[in-house]
A and B are shown apart, each in its own frame.
Chain A
Amino acid sequence: MTSQDLLPSSHVSAATHAALSQRLAETGAAYEPQFLAPETFRLLEAVAARLFPQPERSVPIPLAPSVDQRLTEGRADGWRYDALPPDREAYRLGLGGIQEIAQSLFQTDFEALDATKQDEVIEALASGNPPGAVWQMLPAGRFFEEMLAELTEAYYAHPWAQDEIGYTGYADLPAWTKIGLNEKEPREA
């Protein structure tokens, strides 16, 4: 069963239902960036679209808004690599750095590149040693790891992504009794 079947069912507790339905309600809604400048936010969206290409969805799972919201509110997740500057600065510098890589490799802005070239830019970043002045002060490998992990966790927190991997753990009521190898409850079928 998918989230569409399970969410309205009695298998989902009220607290869980509230969390997931809010996430669904925000999907597809227009989002005005509050922290990042509009052009920087669009760049983040373009990068997120290559880290999580979603060609099969007319409305993609939104990823960039959760980053902008977190930076706006100044929320942290308990730690930061000491080698990186504070998150707001790291994101602004890092996104500027991605533009620098695109310019250095293709003399074009990242958003104007085709998907293959965009992926080459990201590959250069992921390799840890990309071209660009920004990367002299910002450790590319650490920045990429942090950005990728944040976007990945945002993606797999979404009910559609959980459907995609066959996860139904949010259907938390009443209990799981079939927990061994090759066992599943009717609601997992």
Chain B
Amino acid sequence: MPDEEIAEESLLTPTEPAIQDPLLRELLAENQIAPADSTLEKAQPLPPATEEVDCIVIGLGAGGAPLLARLAQAGLKVVALEAGPWHNPEKDFATDERAQDFLFWNDERLAAGGDPLAMGKNNSGTGVGGSTLHYTAYTPRPLPDDLHIKRDFGVGEDWPLTYDDLAPYYAEVERFIGVSGPTPYPWGPARPTGYPMAPLPLNSAAQLMVRGAEKIGIQTSPAPNAALSARYFQEGVGWREACTNRGFCQAGCSNGAKSSMDVTFIPLAVKHGADIRPNSFVTEIERNERGHVSAVVYVQNGQNHRLACKNLFLCGGSVETPRLLLLNELALTSGQVGRNLMAHPGLQVWGTFPDEVRPNKGIPGGLISQDTHRPKDADFVGGYLLQSIGVMPVTFSGQVARGRKLWGQPLRDYMRQFNHIAGINILGDCLPHTSNYLELSDEQDARQLPKPRLHFTAQENEHRMNAHAEKVMRDIWAAAGATDIWSFQRYAHVIGTARMGLSGDDAVVDRDGRAFDVPNLYICDNSVFPSALSVNPALTIMALSLRTADRFLANNV
């Protein structure tokens, strides 16, 4: 039991929360029990900035870690500020979903709109490695036309980059972190190099999807996954061991086989002199008289620190990045910060099989099909991929409760079939819409900062895509022999809240990730995506991160 991690987490989520409950507030007032002083409640004199560094990187997930390594390799003095702790997975990570709760960004976000977005374990991490500590490691590349949804359909937004701009970075990331996948890859343009390792073995759900998809004429392939199918030598780390098929990717990998940032780019960055400061929560971004970022104020273990910098790379993810911009009134002239919030349709279909499935084993997303990337019979814009999914019992039970509304004996009876249940899901593109955005609410969190509120309502295009996908997935599962088939509507990955574009009139950053308003501020995470893409975002964030660093180095050093 990683008690010490939970103790550290409690620093992030202090046990004296802001009192939102009016009844409790009244009681406390009546009894004159003052809540414990928070260090943030009173303005405190700021410590002098005793050092200045070339670059500060805020956030050490897929956006921050690759560029941190690149900048350190170029010889720059770089400091990374990560809100969460630095774990020792081998020792600290349990094969227990509850015990692993510390991996998630558990500060409360408010989910509003017609399809409120589940946060926390659904898509938001903390710690050195960020959300890659609990990503599924599913790392397909987008197909080239994913970046040109507006060109092809007249709606949504195009990327100011092409697939060819990113292709060399995809190849570099895949090789460096160790992606296991099929060569050749069946969809998209031919690639000069294949995946560095053979695909991971197919688990039961993947085998069932092969069986069902074959019967209805859908091509499948073992999926690219950022987890090692064989031992792999990692610069700055040494030998990383192969995946043990434990199936716990979404609750943290304990043997370093999953290519999260803490076992790949971060050790590389450290080897080249990067200074990693965990448990460092940024509260202020200071500017000088020219409007350039000059320093960052952060709280580490209850102490305020101030660190001066020449450049700032904001990589906090698509909730914390816009929150920091809004709180600091930074880079707001386009009016796009917090807007264009998109989330991938992630509809799941579950079924019960006569075969023994034991769905917790193996890499969860073993199989892929991109035959549905641009379906011929589509009545919607864009498309989606199909994926087989493994699942852990607690996560599954929560979805059964929410999705099937079972309780009492029927819930226990259904869950007894756990070892015979398998699922598939989609990951689909999403269009931006004016009703979908992030804002700061009036409600304060434990740090006395406004909680973010995320408005999300799926629109006609998402509904049509889901309907198409549900039929396809039900057909696959019926063909594979499933009974008691049911679907669970979900949306995952928050995207687009500080988008990239050609002009500061309608975008926050340019194609190199540099803020139009603030010349020494760069943003790299899924908030800069102009469109959602029809694939999981992590690989593209890493590729963009390396490109952002290269463009910065080309222009500044």
Contact = CB atoms under 8 A, between A and B. Distances in A.
- Asked if A and B are interacting partners, one says yes
A76 B107 CA distance: 6
A86 interface: yes
A179 B201 contact: yes
B108 A157 contact: no
Contacts of A157: 96-98, 394
A39 interface: no
Contacts of A13: 94-95, 254
Given A51-B407, A149-B398, A157-B97, A86 B20 contact: yes
Given A170-B96, A175-B244, A77 B394 contact: no
B17 to A, nearest CB: 3
Nearest to A22: B1
Contacts of B393: 156, 162, 165, 167, 169
Interface stretch (B68-76, B111-119, B372-380, B467-475): B111-119
Size bin of chain A's contact surface: 35 or more
Contacts, number: 210
B2 interface: yes
A152 B397 contact: yes
B30 interface: no
Interface stretch (B156-164, B177-185, B295-303, B413-421): B413-421
Given A79-B117, A152-B401, A51 B408 contact: yes
B195 interface: no
Nearest to B119: A79
Contacts of B412: 52-53, 164
Contact of A82 (B15, B111, B392, B415): B111
Interface stretch (B261-269, B357-365, B427-435, B499-507): B357-365
Given A175-B244, A182-B355, A182-B356, A78 B94 contact: no
A88 B18 CA distance: 12
Given A88-B24, A167-B393, A78 B108 contact: yes
A74 B23 CA distance: 15
B254 A156 contact: no
B550 interface: no
Interface string A13-35: 11110111011000000000000
Interface stretch (B48-56, B77-85, B202-210, B514-522): B202-210
A20 B96 contact: yes
B478 interface: no
Interface in B174-229: 201-204, 207-208
Interface residues of B, number: 80
B202 A85 contact: no
Given A15-B91, A174-B244, A165 B453 contact: no
A154 B434 CA distance: 38
A23 B98 CA distance: 10
Contact of B93 (A15, A126, A183): A15
Contacts of A53: 408-409, 412
Given A152-B398, A157-B96, A75 B1 contact: no
Contact of B208 (A166, A177, A181): A181
B108 A169 contact: no
B356 A85 contact: no
Interface core residue of A79, A165, A167, A175 (most chain B CB under 10 Å)? A79
B273 interface: no
Given A79-B118, A180-B204, A85 B20 contact: yes
Interface in B13-36: 13, 15-17, 20-24
Nearest to B20: A86
Interface string B99-117: 1010011111111100011
A38 to B, nearest CB: 16
Contacts of B409: 53
Contacts of B110: 79-80, 82
B412 to A, nearest CB: 7
Given A78-B124, A126-B407, A164-B416, A179 B398 contact: no
A39 to B, nearest CB: 16
B277 to A, nearest CB: 23
Interface in A97-146: 119, 122, 126, 145
Contacts of B415: 156, 164-165
7 contacts: A18-B99, A77-B104, A79-B119, A85-B20, A149-B401, A164-B415, A177-B245
Interface of A: 13-16, 18-20, 22-23, 50-53, 73-83, 85-86, 88-89, 92, 119, 122, 126, 145, 148-149, 152-153, 155-157, 162, 164-167, 169-170, 172, 174-177, 179-184, 188
> Which are the 6 A-B pairs with shortest beta-carbon distances?
A78-B120, A74-B17, A18-B1, A175-B244, A79-B119, A82-B112
